Structure 1
Amino acid sequence: MMKKLENVTTKATLIPNLEVADSIQTRGVGLLGRSSLAEDQALWILRCNSIHTFFMKFAIDCVFVDKNLKVKAVYRNVKPWRLVLPVWGASSVVEMASGVSSKLNINVGDQLNVGA
């Protein structure tokens, strides 16, 4: 079931098509095997405070959030074959196409929300 990502701080809908990776399989696969991601799509990986882009075919932006969905860190344009070490206090990450987090003006400290 698709969700949507909202920024409570700026009162804006950020990503209207948010996939949720909450099982061992979906969390393990992530975005592997995809050739791209549309600007209106993202993947929210639960129980995740670090990522890798090994075997990925495109760069991504990574928005790390705490358990209350407050932005702890934003990594922009993470190219394939990179490793992002654990982010202190983060409990999940939203992965989106490279450049989207800047375009949507997502910043550390923003309060996000996931809606139906």
Structure 2
Amino acid sequence: MKLYVNNNLLLDNITIAESLKIRLVGLLNKKSLNENEGLLLKNCSLIHCFFMKFTIEAVYLSKDMKVLYKETVKPWRIGKLVKNCTHVLELPEGMTTGIGIGDNIILEGEKNGKGQ
């Protein structure tokens, strides 16, 4: 799945974590994220990086996919609880420099993480 920020392609390998199984595992089984991949946790407002081996960038989104907040989350840390957050996008460290508060996120494609 491709991820666009204000109609500009940012990443082309986004997995959507919709099932409980995929949401629970998240990125825990990965050693790192490639610079073109990320994970969208739908219907999720709080993340943690317990047991993770690498730092991520977290982008907190409203239900209409507007950026509410972004932060760097290191291993063994909990992300911020952001008011009105409905989804969280987990990206490789350093990939949020082109993303600002209020930006529109658009997802395009067929790939998902239903875990079936």
Q: Specify if TM > 0.5.
A: yes
Q: TM-score, normalised by structure 2?
A: 0.90
CA distance in 1, matches of 2:60, 2:3: 13
SS at match of 1:63: strand
- Deviation per CA, 1:21-40, whole angstroms, max 9, x where unpaired? 00000011100021000010
The reply to whether residue 23 of structure 1 matches residue 19 of structure 2 is yes
Counterpart for residue 8 of structure 2 = 12
Per the TM alignment, residue 100 of structure 1 is displaced from its structure 2 partner at its CA by 1.0
Q: How does 1:54-65 map to 2 (within 5 A)?
A: 54-65=50-61
Counterpart for residue 112 of structure 1 = 105
Counterpart for residue 96 of structure 1 = 91
Q: TM-score, normalised by structure 1?
A: 0.90
Is there any run of 5+ residues in structure 2 with no aligned partner, and where? 110-116
Partner of residue 74 from structure 2, selected from 63, 79, 83: 79
More RCO (CA 8 Å, sep 6+) = 2
Partner of residue 48 from structure 1, selected from 40, 44, 57: 44
SS at match of 1:62: strand
Could you list the runs of 4 or more consecutive aligned residues of structure 1 that deviate by over 2 angstroms after TM superposition? none
Per the TM alignment, residue 85 of structure 1 is displaced from its structure 2 partner at its CA by 3.3
- Deviation per CA, 1:50-89, whole angstroms, max 9, x where unpaired? 100000000000001011000001012x110001132101
Per the TM alignment, residue 95 of structure 1 is displaced from its structure 2 partner at its CA by 0.3
Aligned-residue Cα RMSD (Å) equals: 0.8
CA distance in 2, matches of 1:85, 1:72: 11
Count of residue pairs brought into register by the alignment: 109
CA distance in 1, matches of 2:93, 2:69: 15
CA distance in 2, matches of 1:112, 1:20: 13
Identity of aligned residues (%): 37
Greater strand percent: which structure? 1
CA distance in 2, matches of 1:85, 1:17: 25
Is there any run of 5+ residues in structure 1 with no aligned partner, and where? none
